[in-house]
Amino acid sequence: MSRDEILRRLRAFVDDNFLYMRPDFELRNDASLMGNGVVDSMGVMEMIAFLEEEFGVVVDDGDVTEENLGTLDAITAYVIAHAPVVMEETPQTA
């Protein structure tokens, strides 16, 4: 799965679950989710459950930090680093 596909799925999750009441809010990939009021502590728990279900990524308690889960870019990098299957940056051709 490519980085772009991971980011697309994350953004769809955030839009559907946290930004549905704020359709005009523009969230950059590098913008703080908590700092911009997109998620709160319960939202972080929902995000962790989504990562486990969608990507098979188990988030250790010590990894629940702003550095790992604070932005869409950070979460994407975390998924790539911790997914149980190999994530490819770009598709390979034969």
| Two tokens, residue 24 | 């005009």
Looking at the domain assignment, is residue 92 inside a domain? Answer: no
Residue written as token pair 């989504």: 50
The band of 17, judged by pLDDT with boundaries at 50, 70 and 90, is: very high
User: Cα–Cα–Cα angle for 74, 49, 5, nearest 5°?
Assistant: 50
Number of domains forming the structure of the chain: 1
Q: What is the tens place of the pLDDT at every residue in 25-38?
A: 999 999 999 999 99
Q: Taking the model in full, what pTM does it have?
A: 0.86
Q: What is the tens place of the pLDDT at every residue in 64-80?
A: 999 999 999 999 999 99
| Two tokens, residue 26 | 């523009």
In this prediction, what percent of the chain has a pLDDT beyond 90? 82
Please answer whether residues 1 and 88 qualify as being in contact, where contact means their C-beta atoms are separated by less than 8 angstroms. Answer: yes
Kindly report the CATH number assigned to the domain that includes residue 62.
1.10.1200.10
Instruction: Look up the domain containing 17 and give its range.
Output: 3-82
